[in-house]
Each structure stands twice: as structure tokens, then as C-alpha cells.
Amino acid sequence: MSVENKGRVAVVTGAGSGIGRAAALALLGDGWNVVLAGRRLEPLEAVAEESGAGVRVLAVPTDVVRPESVQALFAAAVDRFARVDLLFNNAGVGNPAGPFEDWTEAQWKGVVDINLSGMFYCIQQAFRTMKAQTPRGGRIINNGSISATTPRPNSIAYTATKHAVKGLTKTASLDGRKYDIAVGQVDVGNAMTELASRMAKGVPQANGELGIEPLIDVKIVGQSVLYMANLPLEANVLFHTIMATKMPFVGRG
């Protein structure tokens, strides 16, 4: 356990799988206390057991779409660990299948409610908690995705919400200054998760062709989140892009 991390507390949403799981395990491995949040208890308990962190980990079933559920999450964190030093605001869903002109209202709202409104509710509750605690302040890391800047074909809902997350990050970063709250964003490109595994089989490219894309181990993303989390509050990584080196992202693909 890192001595400087003893007693520091993180809340990780979407912690039962993928990037959230990787970040939670990285934080726990570095000595943090971690509150695991997700819609289903079983995956959260599996992560807790895998970590071997004992009393330093707490699983709290949470639906980020419901503000009262988010409030209960932070209340549970404070009740168990007395404060919150970090929110990794990670919960999210992918794009509905098929062309967007065929989507229903529910399919569109399902992405917006989780990827945008849910992220806002978590930021809001983190601010309420961090500005009231002693010592005051903390850090928020939003999961933005490279779709926060650059879309893929047929990704209008996911891309729109991730562009919006970039606005949340910038504005919360400004608004957090007076409370000693640092806000940044990690933009991930092609980490091996259930959401991104289709990249290895071939996904539509901008020119209309299907292309197999390289992926990185999701543990690398966990280490990026840990790096940002361990910065002193007087320093902030506003935007951090971690991606497969050879993925078609920069330039003309």
C-alpha cells in the first residue's frame, strides 16, 4: 500500500466491468479505498473479491440515471469512509444498433440519460460532497472517449453525448476551482472491453469499408486513471488521450 494513499477514497461508477473495473483494481492495488458502483451487485462483488482489498472496498448497486440513487451512493461512501477524494465518472452505454433514422425515442433517450444526465448527476453529488468535507476538495475524472472529439460512422447518440461530456468537464473544471475540486477527462481509444471487442472483428470506417482495428489492454487505461488520480490537487490533467498507437484516429484514417 502506498503510504500517501492510506485513507484516500475513490468512487468508481460502471465498476463491474471494462474500464471501470480496470480503474478500480488499479486504485485498490495502489492503496486507495474504493466504492464500486454499478447497476448489478454481482459483478461489483466479483471485482471486490478479485481485488483482495477486504474492508477497503465497498460495493453499492447504483443507477446513475436516478439522482436519488447517486445521492445514496455518495452517502454510503461517506458513511463508510468519511469522505470522497476521487470520482471516476465512468458509467456509460454504447450506441443503439442500426441507422439512427430508424431509432425510437426510447433508444435515443436511453443513451442520453446514462451517458450525459447520469454523468451530470454524479458530478453534482461529488461537488456537494467534496466542498462540504474537511479537508475540502477532491478530483473528478470523466470518461469521455475519443468520440468526444471525433465520431465513427453510425454513432450519433454516443458521439453527441461524449461531445457533451467534454463541455461538462470544461465547465466543472472552472466551477470547481473555488472548492479545490480538480476536474479532468480521460479519452480512451480501443481498449479491450466488451464494448470495444467488435473492433477486432472489423468495424465500419469513414470510407465505408470494414476494418480490423488494434486494441490495447484495458489495464493500461486503469494505470492512466491512477496517474491522474495521484496528482496533487494543485495540478490537473484536463484531457488525457490513451489509445492504441496504430488505430485509425488521427490524420485520414
pLDDT band at residue 42 using 50, 70 and 90 as cut-offs: very high
C-alpha cell at position 220: 493500461
Residue 96 pLDDT: 92
Q: Is the pLDDT of residue 188 over 60?
A: yes
Give the other-Cβ count within 10 Å of 49's Cβ.
11
CATH number for region 3-243? 3.40.50.720
pLDDT band at residue 2 using 50, 70 and 90 as cut-offs: very low
Measuring CA to CA, which residue among 166, 187, 180 is closest to residue 85?
A: 180
Taking residues 192-207, report their average pLDDT.
74
Q: Is the pLDDT of residue 3 over 50?
A: no
Strands (E), the chain: 9-13, 33-38, 57-61, 86-89, 138-143, 181-189, 203-204, 210-211, 239-243
Q: Is the pLDDT of residue 128 over 50?
A: yes
CB 61 within 8 A of CB 91: no
Catalytic residues: 158
pLDDT band at residue 5 using 50, 70 and 90 as cut-offs: low
Residue with the bigger pLDDT between 248 and 62: it is 62
User: For 233-253, how does the pLDDT look when each residue is reduced to its tens digit (9 = 90+)?
Assistant: 999 999 999 999 988 888 766
